[in-house]
Amino acid sequence: MHHQKIAYGLLAAFASLAAAEDKSDVHQLTEKTFEAFVKENPLTLAEFYAPWCGHCKALAPEYEEAATTLKEKNIKLAKVDCTEEADLCQKHGVEGYPTLKVFRGLENVAPYNGQRKAAAITSYMVKQSLPAVSILAKDTLPDFKTADKVVLVAYIAADDKASNETFTGIAEKLRDNYLFGGVNDAAVAEAEGVKFPSIVLYKSFDEGKNVFSEKFEVEAIEKFAKTSATPLIGEVGPETYADYMSAGIPLAYIFAETQEERDSLSKELKPVAEKYKGKINFATIDAKSFGAHAGNLNLKTDKFPAFAIHETVKNKKYPFDQEKKITQDAIAKFADDYDAGKIEPSIKSEPIPENQDGPVSIIVAKNYDQIVLDDKKDVLVEFYAPWCGHCKALAPKYDQLGEAYKKSEFKDKVVIAKVDATANDVPDEVSGFPTIKLFPAGKKDAPITYNGARTVEDLIKFIEENGKHKAVVSFKEEDTEAAPAASEKKEEKKSTDEKKDEEDHDEL
């Protein structure tokens, strides 16, 4: 083990020697130089890294490129090798590599959580270097309009205090997302074709700009910014997935295997995306890299191009028939029918079992409501996956639990059930397997998640304490070993994460 460490150390030393020969615009800092450097520079981005870390290596060329671009704006990028400067890194609370932090002096420190790409780092640091709202004049406006992918400029009379305050408040809140500018000169506003008070969002894509001229209200302006800043047809990938999921409106996926095909479909479907702007987000997705995700939308994963609308909030899926050609007319009709509520969501379900004679009731999507939402019964549900090892280990105990209730006086009041959450669409949030929830009689809208040890006794106690019927059954332990759920949860989490990695964003 030690030999390997030494070899690593040597490699790292050679690597840093090689790097030192090239003139770098990134400042290498140490315990001795760090404080003085941060004090001297009004704005510094510092990367805390380890030479052996893969993510750090991937970031290095991007970080160098950003440093060179930002040099002329007098924004400094620095880096600290945590294998050499352990105390300094500990002092700054570094727990993983790379950790990026924005320093405005030593007191004001904020994490950088953006994409690790040169353009994203540059854009973010430029935003940080400016006041929340940059006051613009006729000669500074043209450059500012193209200073970033999305720029918001408010045209407001200098004495209109209320509008100025509203806009500044939004700028403070959203300064990490967009650049904000302000113009108080009526002639400049007129030249831009707007009246006081208005906001123009300038962007480097789609129609180039959008105008907000309604009443200055925080919510309306924030919605305008978010809607206008979202490309008409964007792209779903690891960096954008979370934003699309949290946008609060349905997402229409366009799956295609090549960039050419994605571009031509975007062009074809642009009028449909325009019609539903702000109501449905449209985005392409690389079917070569993320084709497995089509399965989560109840599409076949081997037939592309494909199209589906995902109602993200309620997790409802509307796949477009894969036998049909994706054309503007066909998707326009599909989107209209979807919007009018004429399309039933597609529900992935195994067939309903012919009988429920076993100790554990089998739930599928098609009988979910009938079993789980039966208001007279306490229903314990295990959400499992066929590949999950802990689910297999639990199975015999779970059968014994089911048996214990079936033989008892509570057989009509307590149901022990399970569902394969990979083969059936369930309305519950399930992030790892197995997940066990109790749906008490009379309180179906407030299920309780089980976090105890996975033993029959502990599960009986859980049902007794949380179920409406306070059902207690006697049970003799038969050589089944109890393992604490906590450690299993971690293990299981790992396998779902591995699974997640494989499929990028698998909604389990």
Query: Could you tell me which residues are beta bridge partners of residue 306?
Result: 255
Residue 267 CB partners (closer than 8 Å, separation 6+): none
Tokens matching residue 36: 């003085």
Say what angle helices 161-174 and 218-229 make with each other, to 10 degrees: 50
Q: Confirm whether 82 is a catalytic residue.
A: no
Cα–Cα distance between 87 and 286 in angstroms, integer? 44
Catalytic member of 82, 299, 391, 436 = 391
Strand partners, 414: 378
Nearest CA to 456 out of 491, 413, 405 is that of 405
Q: Is 388 designated active site?
A: yes
Pick the catalytic residue from 59, 287, 331, 388: 388
Sign of CA dihedral 496, 421, 464, 403: negative
Q: Can the peptide bond before residue 98 be classed as cis, meaning omega within 30 degrees of 0? A: yes
User: Is 89 an annotated catalytic residue?
Assistant: no
**Rounded distance, CA 14 to CA 28, Å?**
16
Q: One of 12, 19, 50, 53 is an active-site residue; which one? A: 53
Q: 307-321 burial, b for 16+ CB within 10 Å, e for fewer? A: bbbbebeeebbbbbe
Q: Which of 29, 46, 56, 151 is catalytic?
A: 56
Is 332 in a helix, a strand, or coil? Answer: helix
Q: 129 and 75 in contact (C-beta within 8 Å)?
A: yes
CA distance 19 to 24: 8
* 6 C-beta neighbours (distance < 10 Å), count: 9
Which stretch of DSSP H or E encloses residue 498? helix 485-502
Residue 314 tokens, joined: 């309620």
- Identify which of 394, 397, 395, 416 has the alpha carbon closest to the alpha carbon of residue 471: 416
Residue 327 CB neighbours (<10 A): 12
Task: Count the helix, strand and coil residues of the chain and give each as a percent rounded to the nearest 5.
Answer: 40, 20, 40
CA distance 39 to 257: 50
Active site residues: 53, 56, 388, 391
